[in-house]
């Protein structure tokens, strides 16, 4: 991908995630370093644990105008201490004002999307990207999707459940014998990003402010060989694997704006529309300049060679 294309992807990702630029950097990296997820003509496809659908929409070439971002219709009044102590998901919130403003639609959308949060599915519905949406946990039997009917399955959240084998088999049942699964996972290297390990001598409260309990939400983590063993045990073989979040990007993502995000979110929610847009435009420009070199030349920004986030393309074994 050329520098111009990388810049376009990053800038549009920052437009979506401007108050969390580390998430924008990660999203841009997934697009640039991952496989093309866009469904082919005539394919039946499913996005399991699709959330609000925005990231998959983006990965398939969809773009939004600068008038829209993921913080406009969220829960913008939560206190920093409440977000941390009560484990509040500020994105698990929906009101009728939520209307994504689309600049470019993917050439094709997904047949199905599933998620266990109803508010996120309501948001996904507004994209007109999924033909059918289903409220379901990854481990559930989704009766609205026929067994053996899918050409492609995508899931970026398998590590969020402890029973990864149950969830993987549930998705595999929906796949045609010739179908393909694309699975994005974190590896156990993610545990090395815990601030207690990075800086063990620092105060516990300081570590907690930066960690935000993230390790507890990923019970299904495995190392690379563990993931490959799981796939093999479920009758799947690895056709291709990719490192979709180079280590230097993972370290930026690990800190980012997470500790102060609730305050930024609350502040942005109380700006006038004109002031908000003016600040957002400047913000996006600055972070595009800051993060583009890291996105394009990650090896220049650190010596860490660990592989934190992997993408696997899988097919059923004969």
Look at residue 79 and tell me whether its pLDDT is greater than 50: no
- Degrees to nearest 5, angle at CA 144 with 143 and 145: 90
Q: What is the dihedral of CA 131, 16, 56, 58, to 10 degrees?
A: 90
Per-residue pLDDT band at 218 (split at 50, 70, 90) = confident
- pTM for this model (two decimals): 0.92
b/e map of 268-298 (b: 16 or more CB within 10 Å)? Answer: bbeeeeeebeeebeebbeebbeebbebbeeb
3-state secondary structure of 47: strand
Residue 191 DSSP symbol: G
- Min mean pLDDT across 43-57, 135-149, 195-209, 300-314 is at 195-209
Contact 227, 238 (CB under 8 A): no
Contact 174, 148 (CB under 8 A): yes
Q: What is the pLDDT of residues 169-192, one digit of tens each?
A: 999 999 999 999 999 999 999 999
Look at residue 94 and tell me whether its pLDDT is greater than 90: no
Contact 24, 287 (CB under 8 A): yes
Overall average pLDDT of the 240-261 stretch: 95
Q: What are phi and psi of 183, to 5 degrees?
A: -120, 120
Look at residue 318 and tell me whether its pLDDT is greater than 80: no
Burial class, 152, CB count within 10 angstroms (exposed 0-12 / middle 13-18 / buried 19+): buried
Q: Which residues are within 8 A (CB) of 47 and not within 5 positions of it... i.e. 6 or more apart?
A: 53, 56, 110, 112, 113, 114, 130, 154, 155
Overall average pLDDT of the 19-36 stretch: 98
- Degrees to nearest 5, angle at CA 34 with 217 and 27: 55
- Kindly state the percentage of the chain with pLDDT values over 90: 81
Contact 23, 258 (CB under 8 A): no
Domain architecture of the chain: domains with CATH: 3-183+220-247+257-316 (3.40.50.150)
Residue 134 DSSP symbol: E
Look at residue 200 and tell me whether its pLDDT is greater than 70: yes
pLDDT computed for residue 298 by the predictor: 97
Overall average pLDDT of the 289-294 stretch: 98
């Amino acid at each position: 991908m050329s520098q111009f294309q990388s810049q376009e992807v990053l800038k549009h990702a920052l437009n979506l995630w401007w108050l969390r630029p580390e998430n924008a950097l990660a999203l841009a990296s997934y697009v640039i370093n991952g496989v093309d997820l866009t469904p082919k003509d005539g394919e039946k496809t499913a996005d399991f644990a699709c959330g609000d659908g925005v990231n998959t929409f983006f990965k398939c070439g969809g773009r939004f105008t600068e008038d829209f971002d993921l913080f406009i219709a969220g829960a913008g009044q939560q206190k920093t201490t409440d977000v941390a102590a009560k484990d509040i998901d500020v994105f698990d919130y929906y009101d009728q004002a939520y209307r994504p403003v689309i600049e470019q639609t993917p050439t094709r959308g997904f047949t199905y999307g599933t998620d266990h949060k109803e508010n996120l599915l309501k948001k996904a519905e507004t994209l007109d990207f999924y033909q059918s949406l289903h409220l379901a946990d990854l481990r559930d039997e989704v009766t609205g999707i026929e067994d053996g009917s899918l050409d492609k399955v995508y899931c970026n959240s398998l590590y969020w459940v402890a029973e990864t084998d149950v969830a993987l088999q549930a998705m595999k049942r929906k796949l045609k014998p010739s179908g393909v699964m694309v699975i994005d996972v974190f590896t156990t290297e993610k545990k090395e990003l815990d601030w207690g390990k990075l800086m063990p001598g620092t105060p516990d409260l300081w570590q907690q402010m930066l960690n935000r309990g993230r390790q507890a939400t990923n019970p299904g983590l495995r190392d690379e060989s563990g993931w490959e063993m799981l796939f093999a045990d479920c009758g799947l073989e690895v056709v291709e694997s990719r490192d979709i979040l180079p280590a230097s990007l993972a370290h930026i993502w690990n800190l980012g704006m997470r500790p102060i995000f609730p305050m930024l979110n609350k502040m942005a929610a109380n700006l006038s529309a004109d002031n908000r847009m003016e600040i957002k435009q400047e913000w996006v420009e600055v972070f595009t300049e800051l993060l583009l070199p890291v996105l394009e030349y990650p090896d220049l920004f650190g010596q860490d060679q660990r592989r934190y986030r992997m993408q696997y393309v899988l097919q059923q074994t004969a």
